[in-house]
Structure 1
Amino acid sequence: MSREGGGVVLRRAVAADAGAAAGVWLRSFAAALPTVVRPRADEEVQDYFRHVLVPLRETWVAESADRAVVGVMVLAEGELSQLYLAPHWRGRGLGDRFVALAKEREPDGLSLWTFQVNAPAHRFYERHGFTAVEWTDGAGNEEREPDVRYVWRPWHADPDPAAGRTGR
């Protein structure tokens, strides 16, 4: 565990990180997606991190030099299901580090969903080699917000981005 990029370390989340990780998610979602209506109350998001994401999924946090959780990433069976940074930590290379870690952990490929209104996320993932392969009207997500599915396949994997679809 080394402190790179502004003294930030990426590490597996432990139970004690759940509240802080959920706080990052809530602040990031509000800042990046102000027009998207969240169907879950803050307490439900906190519970989801505490009872599902941290104990049952491969959850990683970014911890700053002052020991604050400033980012969270969740991997689940080839899907990058969550990647959120504290708003003041965007643009510092932390997302790049998380994506590199995700690719290292899932070397045969990754998929993810992001909302269609989130143009900065589209640019970010495309810069990291992800390709948009599916657009929906949002009927499959709880926000009912149109979204887009991205995939990343390494050069040695199946070149068909629709192969191995994880669905919703």
Structure 2
Amino acid sequence: MTSTVALRPYRAADEDAAIALWQETWQLAYPAIDFAARVPWWRERWRSELVPKAEVIVAECEGELAGFVTIDASGYLDQLVVSPQHWGSPLATQLVDAAKQRSPRGITLLVNKDNARAIRFYKRSGFVEAGEDVNPTSGRPVLRMAWVP
């Protein structure tokens, strides 16, 4: 049986679920980092930087938040988060497609260079490597990636 996933705009009532999902997914991707300790920082960033400055599209499945993507007016995709229960499903592609619809002139993003799974996904989604950088918060090396229609 396949569950139906619905995409919709973010609502303020989604905040706790979105932050918990962010913590869960990043903790799985980088188990050596204590993401629980980063939640207060992330909540402040979520409230002050992402929600006011980007469109947030959430994916809901059976009443639960299953993922989200953020895309700002410049076409910068800051976050793509998908519940581990939906890894390997079409959900991430649906969220990226929603971001592409909202930014039809192109999208840029940064992805950790050691996140091979994400890099493969973005390449399959039509993104190309567009340079290298260092994340100013974590100090980790990142790839700049771009999608140009």
Q: Give the drift of 1:60.
A: 1.2
How do residues 18-29 of structure 1 correspond to structure 2 at under 5 angstroms? 18-29=15-26
How do residues 18-167 of structure 1 correspond to structure 2 at under 5 angstroms? 18-35=15-32, 41-65=38-62, 67-76=63-72, 77-136=74-133, 138=134, 140-154=135-149
Choose between structure 1 and 2: higher strand proportion.
2
Aligned residues with identical type, % of pairs: 32
Whole-angstrom distance in 1 between the partners of 2:38 and 2:94: 30
Larger-Rg structure: 1
CA RMSD of aligned residues (A): 2.0
Letter in 1 for 2:40: E
Tell me the TM-score normalized by structure 2. Answer: 0.89
Whole-angstrom distance in 2 between the partners of 1:149 and 1:115: 9
Matched residue SS, 2:122: helix
Structure 1: state its 5+ residue gaps.
155-168
Q: Give the drift of 1:46.
A: 2.4
The answer as to whether partners of 1:15 and 1:55 remain within 8 angstroms in 2 is: no
Task: Name the CA shift for 1:131/1:35 in 2 (closer, same or farther; >3 Å).
Answer: farther
The answer as to whether partners of 1:114 and 1:149 remain within 8 angstroms in 2 is: yes
Whole-angstrom distance in 2 between the partners of 1:74 and 1:64: 18
Q: Give the drift of 1:51.
A: 4.2
Choose between structure 1 and 2: higher helix proportion.
2
Q: How many residues are matched? A: 147
Q: String of CA shifts for 1:4-57, please: whole Å, max 9, x gaps.
A: x7211111101111111111111111112335676x621221233244423442
Whole-angstrom distance in 2 between the partners of 1:37 and 1:144: 16
Tell me the TM-score normalized by structure 1. Answer: 0.80
Matched residue SS, 1:74: strand
Whole-angstrom distance in 1 between the partners of 2:34 and 2:119: 19
Letter in 2 for 1:91: G
Letter in 2 for 1:57: A
Task: Name the CA shift for 1:150/1:48 in 2 (closer, same or farther; >3 Å).
Answer: same
Structure 2: state its 5+ residue gaps.
none
Whole-angstrom distance in 2 between the partners of 1:11 and 1:44: 26
